[in-house]
Structure 1
Amino acid sequence: MPLRIFAGLALWWLLGIMMSGLLGTVVTGRSPFFELRGTPVGSIAVTAIDLVVGAISTPVAIYLAGRYVDRRRFRDFGFRVNRAWWADLTFGFVLGGALMTAIFVVQLALGWVTIRGVFVVGGVPHWTFPYWFLLSVGSYLIGSVIEELLHRGFLLTNFAEGFQVGPVDARGAVVVGILLTSGVFAFAHATAPNATAISTASIALAGVFLGLGYALTGELALPIGVHVAWNFFEGNLYGFPISGSTTTSILAIEQHGPDVMTGGAFGPEAGLLGVGAILLGILTTIAWVRYHRGGSGIQLAVTNRETL
């Protein structure tokens, strides 16, 4: 298991480095098109290409790691797509959007947030908003899918299989995997702008939330839906910071409430309202799985040992 994880992550890192290097060569070359990169049009083009590179490198790396190292199919990382998969994806998106909407409505009702404008684009012409908005949405959508594929699909699956040793059975190994991947997920966000101890702990709890969605369904659909909607509603719609960074948003807001409640400059995850929303999401996920699948136990498909 350690060797499989190391090989997979090394492949992911090397592929990303190579593709980023190729992108850098293209962008910094003498092409007349990319001489426009100092203009709004050029900046949009460069960002779009970078987005495409990110969308390709991680799935390809995970596919290769699965095929030649793990000896498992790509679908075994949580992509056994069927009608139930799409239902979980839809529910996850609705849940993520509803939780973030609840955070926004509570802050608005308490006077902790003020809407000061719409269609915000920082530092570039206003007419470019539709393009930057679509790129921002695409970036967070792809980023959410990639994070779920890497943290839950690849790492959690390997942890759940590898820790079945001694007295630890398959279900116990899944629990260990959820805790470990949640720690890795939190560590990956610990160096984000404006990160705090509360934000790191909250991100770890969010990792449990997302990992539970994977463990209870055996698929990545539910956590992908939650992750995509959470980021979209948080940043692109309501204008909250996402992990300490601002983005192109439909609403421009100012926050006035206590940081311990709102999360301040990091975003709602660093506040108690965000923690409450995550806990509510965990309970709702359990209820949905029990209703939709007739039970809420850990799916042993996560520890799939079938090999190619």
Structure 2
Amino acid sequence: MTLALATELTMLAASLGFGAYAIAHWRRSGRAVLDGLGLRFGRSDAADLLAGLVIAGVAMAGIFVTERAMGGITTATTSVQPGLLPRAAVMALHAFKEELLMRSLLLSGLLLALGNRRVPAVGLSALAFGLIHLSNPGASALSVLGNALGGVIYGTAFVLTGRIWLSLGLHFAWNFVQGPLLGLPVSGLASGGMFAVTHQGPDVMTGGSYGPEGGLVGIGFRFVVIGGLLGWVAFGRARRSAAGGAPVAAEAG
């Protein structure tokens, strides 16, 4: 067993272990497990999901344009890719699985174990999210950083909203626009696309065969997503305050 695979299995075990700890706590305290996992869905959650899709989709388009303008990639249009909807469904299920494991289970358990200290809880879960991608083709120290920043984004969305839907929208759109739409590698995996992309380098900027998560341009745009996420959450809170509603705050676990 390789070190990368062992790390991935360890992170999976940690997610399930901390998740079991959180679920046991919710049951003892009388809190609904569905609420603890952040899986309730209402009108505001639909808006969060849509906002996540827009924020991450625009950021990924920005990465594509930036890398093309700087000569890091060249592109040619391809024929319309068949099976786009089935691939979208598969990527949505994959994003949901990772959000359930890494945010609903692992992050919730860490929040409880750390006394609702959000910064270290999000940081540890983000590090775990970066490390589980070590077994992907072409992974590097820089790609671990890029994926860990993705974990910061999704974890922050989860703790600020108390729901999984904003993080799910961000996660899915980042991957789907990146791969099946624009033709960039998704964490080392080819996913087709409307463009045939040729990498000119340097890989440290574009991520090369790993994709934007492993390059400085993609890492820079992670901070654009963080700004969009914080702006959206602030806008939602201001709107609810103006309407006389209480602001949403995630409970520990």
**How would you bin the TM-score normalised by the shorter chain?**
0.7 to 0.9
CA distance in 1, matches of 2:206, 2:13: 38
Question: C-alpha offsets along residues 221-276 of structure 1, whole Å, 9 cap, x if unaligned?
Answer: 11100001000100001111111010132222112131111111100011111111
Computing the radius of gyration over CA atoms, which structure comes out larger, 1 or 2? Answer: 1
Alignment of 1:34-113 (within 5 A): 71=27, 72-113=32-73
- Are 1:268 and 2:228 matched, yes or no? no
Q: Which runs of 5+ in 1 are unaligned?
A: 11-61, 121-128, 165-169
CA distance in 2, matches of 1:184, 1:191: 13
CA contact (8 A) 1:152 1:214 kept: yes
User: Alpha carbon RMSD of aligned pairs, Å?
Assistant: 2.6
- 2:16 is aligned to 9
- 2:108 is aligned to 157
From the superposition, tell whether residues 9 and 97 of structure 1 become closer, same or farther in structure 2 (CA, over 3 Å): same
CA contact (8 A) 1:157 1:302 kept: no
Deviation at 1:7, TM superposition (A): 9.3
Find 1:250's aligned residue among 181, 189, 194: 194
CA contact (8 A) 2:87 2:180 kept: yes
Deviation at 1:220, TM superposition (A): 1.0
- 1:140 is aligned to 91
- Are 1:301 and 2:250 matched, yes or no? yes
Q: Name the amino acid aligned to 2:104.
A: G
CA distance in 1, matches of 2:162, 2:154: 12
- 1:214 is aligned to 158
CA distance in 2, matches of 1:278, 1:255: 20
CA distance in 2, matches of 1:103, 1:7: 33
- 1:53 is aligned to none
Identity across matched positions, percent? 34
CA contact (8 A) 2:22 2:108 kept: no
- 1:130 is aligned to 82
TM-score (norm 2): 0.82
From the superposition, tell whether residues 215 and 7 of structure 1 become closer, same or farther in structure 2 (CA, over 3 Å): closer
CA contact (8 A) 2:136 2:188 kept: yes
- 1:42 is aligned to none
CA contact (8 A) 1:8 1:69 kept: no
- 1:175 is aligned to 119
CA distance in 1, matches of 2:15, 2:51: 30
Deviation at 1:108, TM superposition (A): 2.0
CA contact (8 A) 1:77 1:219 kept: yes
Question: C-alpha offsets along residues 103-141 of structure 1, whole Å, 9 cap, x if unaligned?
Answer: 011122223222234147xxxxxxxx523x333222211
- 1:292 is aligned to 236
- 2:222 is aligned to 278
CA distance in 1, matches of 2:148, 2:14: 25
Question: Aligned to 1:210, what secondary structure does the other structure show?
Answer: helix
CA distance in 2, matches of 1:238, 1:220: 26
CA distance in 2, matches of 1:82, 1:135: 26
CA contact (8 A) 2:54 2:173 kept: yes
Question: C-alpha offsets along residues 83-119 of structure 1, whole Å, 9 cap, x if unaligned?
Answer: 1111111100000100000001112222322223414
Q: Which has the higher contact order (CA 8 A, sep 6+)?
A: 2
From the superposition, tell whether residues 119 and 144 of structure 1 become closer, same or farther in structure 2 (CA, over 3 Å): farther
CA distance in 2, matches of 1:146, 1:104: 26
CA distance in 2, matches of 1:230, 1:114: 20
TM-score (norm 1): 0.68
- 1:167 is aligned to none
Paired residues in the alignment total 231
